[in-house]
């Protein structure tokens, strides 16, 4: 796309970009177990090193960073690319934490729901009502894998609810419609984008069987495409980071693919909007460790806190 540029490189599997109040882009480096801020000139500042596998990131109303931590991966690095592979030695589960970006101090909020350990918390979105929705992708092993789950939790660490399960292909990116009444969830391995009507904190309207988790299928992506994180525009369109094909795919609220932007890499994993009028897209190119900046044709949605 004209005007696109690599804002930063040398990152260790970046994901979860978030625009900070000062204009910098905070993101996670999953392999390095740290959170890094990228300046407009590409400079890097480490904000925190919580370890494990910090994955999803959101900025709270208190100025704190809320982080989904997947507990870590093993890694394969070859020919200038990096990719996760299974769980590391000593893996015991994942968690959700709150991090003070001014000090790097981390407070663990959740590592279980109803006595069941979180496996691989992946992405989150705040609901503007004192809580947040988040996905647990699970962990993949040689001959089996965990089913994905969507949870709702309170920002103060007091309450967590299982909202939708199972996602056999892994629950990954999620986002809210502009009116906050609909939750979108990307299922990675099936290439499916699901929609749920929100009834209340942790409560989703459920379709009956054969929907595996009660979601309504909004869009089945064509061909061999795996889905990662997503962001919603001011008009309500859903922009999905599309793996393998290396694209940002924009889907209308009615489920129609209306635009495809190629990113120059097979693994664009996350997208967020910032800049003047939120008309700049920031995309993490995780395989090659880069942050891509490019103009966007429509303004992104202002995220609630």
Q: What percent of the chain has pLDDT over 70?
A: 100
Compute φ and ψ for 107, nearest 5 degrees.
-125, 120
Q: Counting every residue, how long is the chain? A: 305
How do residues 109-139 score in pLDDT, each as one tens digit?
A: 999 999 999 999 999 999 999 999 999 999 9
The pLDDT of residue 100 is 98
Per domain, the residue ranges of the chain are 15-235
The answer to whether residue 1 scores a pLDDT higher than 90 is no
How do residues 50-101 score in pLDDT, each as one tens digit?
A: 999 999 999 999 999 999 999 999 999 999 999 999 999 999 999 999 999 9
Q: How confident is the model at residue 178 (pLDDT cuts 50, 70, 90)?
A: very high
- Tell me the two tokens of residue 26: 């905070």
**Cβ-count burial of 217 within 10 angstroms (0-12 exposed, 13-18 middle, 19+ buried)?**
middle
The answer to whether residue 304 scores a pLDDT higher than 90 is no
Select from 234, 221, 226 the least CA-distant residue to 286.
226
How do residues 210-221 score in pLDDT, each as one tens digit?
A: 999 999 999 999
> When comparing pLDDT for 7 and 142, which is higher?
7
- Tell me the two tokens of residue 14: 């970046």
CA distance 200 to 192: 24
CA distance 116 to 87: 18
The pLDDT of residue 2 is 83
What 8-state DSSP symbol labels residue 129? Answer: S
Average pLDDT (164-173) is 98
pLDDT, mean over the chain = 97
15-235 belongs to CATH 3.40.50.10490: no
Contact 134, 162 (CB under 8 A): no
The answer to whether residue 305 scores a pLDDT higher than 80 is no
Average pLDDT (176-195) is 98
CA distance 296 to 254: 21
The answer to whether residue 4 scores a pLDDT higher than 80 is yes
CA distance 94 to 258: 36
């Amino acid at each position: 796309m004209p005007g696109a540029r690599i804002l930063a490189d040398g990152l260790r599997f970046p994901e979860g970009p978030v625009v900070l109040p000062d204009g910098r882009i905070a993101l996670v480096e999953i392999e390095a177990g740290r959170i890094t801020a990228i300046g407009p000139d590409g400079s890097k500042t480490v904000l925190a090193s919580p370890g494990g596998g910090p994955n999803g990131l959101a900025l709270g109303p208190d100025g704190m960073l809320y982080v989904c931590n997947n507990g870590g991966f093993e890694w394969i690095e070859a020919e200038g690319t990096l990719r996760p592979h299974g769980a590391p030695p000593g893996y015991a589960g994942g968690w959700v934490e709150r991090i003070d970006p001014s000090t790097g101090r981390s407070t663990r909020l959740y590592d279980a729901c109803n006595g069941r350990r979180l496996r691989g918390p992946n992405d989150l979105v705040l609901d503007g009502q004192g809580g947040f929705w988040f996905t647990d992708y699970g962990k993949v092993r040689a001959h089996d894998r965990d089913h994905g789950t969507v949870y709702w939790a309170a920002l103060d660490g007091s309450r967590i609810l299982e909202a939708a399960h199972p996602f056999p292909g892994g629950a990954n990116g999620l986002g809210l419609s502009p009116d906050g009444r609909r939750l979108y969830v990307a299922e990675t391995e099936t290439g499916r984008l699901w929609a749920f009507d929100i009834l209340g904190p942790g409560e989703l309207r459920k379709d009956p069987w054969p929907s595996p988790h009660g979601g309504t299928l909004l869009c089945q992506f064509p061909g061999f495409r795996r889905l990662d994180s997503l962001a919603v525009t001011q008009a309500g369109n859903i922009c999905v980071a599309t793996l393998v094909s290396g694209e940002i795919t924009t889907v209308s609220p009615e489920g129609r693919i209306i635009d495809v932007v190629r990113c120059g890499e097979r693994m664009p994993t996350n997208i967020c909007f910032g800049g003047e009028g939120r008309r700049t897209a920031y995309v993490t190119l995780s395989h090659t460790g880069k942050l891509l900046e490019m103009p966007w044709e429509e303004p992104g949605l202002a995220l609630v806190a």
